[in-house]
A and B are shown apart, each in its own frame.
Chain A
Amino acid sequence: MINMKIVYFFVLSFAVFINGFFSTAVYAENTFTIGYLELKKDPRYKKKRLLARFTGQALGRPFAGAEVAIKEAKYHGIDIDTVLLLERKTVKKEELTSAVEEFNNQGVQFIVLDLPSFETAELLKKIKGKDIAFFNATSYDNTLRNESCQSNLFHTLPSHAMLMDALAQYLISKKWKNILVLEGELAEDKQMSSAFEIAAKRFGLKIKDKRIFKLGNDPRERSKNNVALLTKGDFDVIFIADTNGEYARDLPYQSLKPNLIVGSEGLSASAWHWGWERHGAPQLIKRFIKKHKRLMENTDWAAWMAVKVIAAGVQDTKSTDYKKITAYLTADNTVLDTFKGHASSFRPWNNQLRQTILLTTHNWVVTRAPLKGFLHQKNNLDTLGNEKRNSKCVF
Chain B
Amino acid sequence: MFNIFQEALNSTMKYLLIAALPIFLLAPAISHAKNTGYIFVSSEKDNSVAVLDGKTYKQIKKIETSDRPRHLAFNADKTKILAACGEGNSIDIIDIAKLEVTDKINDDIEDPEAFDVSPDGKYLYISLEDDGALGVLDMAEKEMIKTIEVGEEPEGVLANPDGKSVYVTSEVANTVHVIDTATWKVTANIKVGKRPRRFALLASKNELWVTSELDASISIIDLATNKVKDTIRFEAKGFRKEDITPVGIAMTNNGKTAYVALGRANHVAIVDIASHKVKDLMLVGERVWNIELNKNESLLFAVNGLSDDISIIDTKKKKVIKSVAVGRVPYMAIIDD
CA A277 to CA B172, docked complex, whole Å: 17
User: Contacts of B264 on A, CB cut-off 8 Å?
Assistant: 341
A343 in complex: contacting residue of B111, B173, B175, B214, CB < 8 Å: B214
Given A71-B152, A343-B241; A290-B130 close (CB under 8 Å): yes
Binds B, one of A29-37, A201-209, A244-252, A279-287: A279-287
CA A280 to CA B241, docked complex, whole Å: 19
Which A residues between 45 and 77 are near B, CB-CB below 8 angstroms? 71-76
Which A residues between 165 and 205 are near B, CB-CB below 8 angstroms? none
CA A155 to CA B112, docked complex, whole Å: 35
User: Contacts of A342 on B, CB cut-off 8 Å?
Assistant: 242
CA A71 to CA B191, docked complex, whole Å: 17
CA A342 to CA B111, docked complex, whole Å: 26
Distance (whole angstroms) from the CB of B180 to the closest CB of chain A: 17
Check if A264 is an interface residue, CB within 8 A of chain B. Answer: no
B175 in complex: contacting residue of A75, A286, A290, A380, CB < 8 Å: A75
Distance (whole angstroms) from the CB of A165 to the closest CB of chain B: 18
B130/A72 in contact, CB under 8 A:
no
Distance (whole angstroms) from the CB of B298 to the closest CB of chain A: 33
A74/B173 in contact, CB under 8 A:
yes
Given A72-B172, A290-B130, A335-B214; A283-B153 close (CB under 8 Å): yes
B195/A280 in contact, CB under 8 A:
yes
B152/A287 in contact, CB under 8 A:
yes
Distance (whole angstroms) from the CB of A369 to the closest CB of chain B: 14
Given A283-B129, A380-B240; A335-B189 close (CB under 8 Å): no
User: Contacts of A315 on B, CB cut-off 8 Å?
Assistant: 174, 191
**Which residue of the partner chain B has the closest CB to A343?**
B242
**Which residue of the partner chain A has the closest CB to B175?**
A75
CA A75 to CA B151, docked complex, whole Å: 6
Distance (whole angstroms) from the CB of A198 to the closest CB of chain B: 26
Distance (whole angstroms) from the CB of B72 to the closest CB of chain A: 20
**Which residue of the partner chain B has the closest CB to A356?**
B242
The 8 A CB mask of A306-341 against B (1 = contact, 0 = none) is 000000000100000000000000000001010001
Which B residues between 153 and 210 are near A, CB-CB below 8 angstroms? 153, 170-175, 189, 191, 194-195
User: Contacts of A79 on B, CB cut-off 8 Å?
Assistant: 191
Given A280-B195, A287-B152; A75-B173 close (CB under 8 Å): yes
User: Contacts of A283 on B, CB cut-off 8 Å?
Assistant: 111, 129-130, 153
B130/A286 in contact, CB under 8 A:
yes
Check if B309 is an interface residue, CB within 8 A of chain A. Answer: no
Check if B67 is an interface residue, CB within 8 A of chain A. Answer: no
Check if B215 is an interface residue, CB within 8 A of chain A. Answer: yes
Classify the secondary structure of B's interface with A: loop
A280/B175 in contact, CB under 8 A:
no
Check if A16 is an interface residue, CB within 8 A of chain B. Answer: no
CA A58 to CA B153, docked complex, whole Å: 26
User: Contacts of A76 on B, CB cut-off 8 Å?
Assistant: 173
B173/A280 in contact, CB under 8 A:
no
A72/B173 in contact, CB under 8 A:
yes
Distance (whole angstroms) from the CB of B43 to the closest CB of chain A: 15
**Which residue of the partner chain B has the closest CB to A69?**
B172
User: Contacts of B241 on A, CB cut-off 8 Å?
Assistant: 343
B151/A74 in contact, CB under 8 A:
yes
The 8 A CB mask of B100-132 against A (1 = contact, 0 = none) is 000000000001000000000000000001101
**Which residue of the partner chain A has the closest CB to B177?**
A75
Q: Which residue of A72, A73, A283, A342 has the most chain B CB atoms within 10 A of its CB atom?
A: A283
User: Contacts of B152 on A, CB cut-off 8 Å?
Assistant: 71-72, 74, 287
The 8 A CB mask of B212-223 against A (1 = contact, 0 = none) is 001100000000
User: Contacts of B195 on A, CB cut-off 8 Å?
Assistant: 280, 337
Which B residues between 234 and 264 are near A, CB-CB below 8 angstroms? 240-242, 264
CA A74 to CA B174, docked complex, whole Å: 11
CA A341 to CA B151, docked complex, whole Å: 21
Check if A78 is an interface residue, CB within 8 A of chain B. Answer: yes
CA A335 to CA B153, docked complex, whole Å: 19
A337 in complex: contacting residue of B175, B191, B194, CB < 8 Å: B194
User: Contacts of A380 on B, CB cut-off 8 Å?
Assistant: 240
Given A280-B153, A286-B130, A337-B195; A75-B215 close (CB under 8 Å): no
Distance (whole angstroms) from the CB of B16 to the closest CB of chain A: 38
A75/B189 in contact, CB under 8 A:
yes
Distance (whole angstroms) from the CB of A61 to the closest CB of chain B: 22
The 8 A CB mask of A75-102 against B (1 = contact, 0 = none) is 1101100000000000000000000000
Distance (whole angstroms) from the CB of B217 to the closest CB of chain A: 10
CA A335 to CA B170, docked complex, whole Å: 17
CA A380 to CA B152, docked complex, whole Å: 30
CA A283 to CA B194, docked complex, whole Å: 17
CA A380 to CA B243, docked complex, whole Å: 11
User: Contacts of B151 on A, CB cut-off 8 Å?
Assistant: 72, 74-75
CA A122 to CA B152, docked complex, whole Å: 37
CA A380 to CA B242, docked complex, whole Å: 10
B240/A335 in contact, CB under 8 A:
no
User: Contacts of A74 on B, CB cut-off 8 Å?
Assistant: 151-152, 173
User: Contacts of B111 on A, CB cut-off 8 Å?
Assistant: 283, 286
User: Contacts of A75 on B, CB cut-off 8 Å?
Assistant: 151, 170, 173, 175, 189
CA A75 to CA B175, docked complex, whole Å: 8
CA A280 to CA B263, docked complex, whole Å: 14
B191/A280 in contact, CB under 8 A:
no
CA A78 to CA B191, docked complex, whole Å: 9
User: Contacts of A287 on B, CB cut-off 8 Å?
Assistant: 130, 152
CA A73 to CA B214, docked complex, whole Å: 17
**Which residue of the partner chain B has the closest CB to A342?**
B242
User: Contacts of A73 on B, CB cut-off 8 Å?
Assistant: 173
User: Contacts of B130 on A, CB cut-off 8 Å?
Assistant: 283, 286-287, 290
The 8 A CB mask of B261-288 against A (1 = contact, 0 = none) is 0001000000000000000000000000
Task: Pick the 5 closest A-B CB pairs, nearest first.
Answer: A75-B173, A343-B242, A72-B152, A72-B172, A75-B151
Listed A/B pairs (11) with beta-carbon separation below 8 Å: A72-B151, A72-B152, A72-B172, A75-B189, A79-B191, A280-B153, A315-B174, A335-B214, A337-B194, A341-B242, A343-B242
- What is A's interface to B at a CB cutoff of 8 Å? 71-76, 78-79, 280, 283, 286-287, 290, 315, 335, 337, 341-343, 380
- What is B's interface to A at a CB cutoff of 8 Å? 111, 129-130, 132, 151-153, 170-175, 189, 191, 194-195, 214-215, 240-242, 264
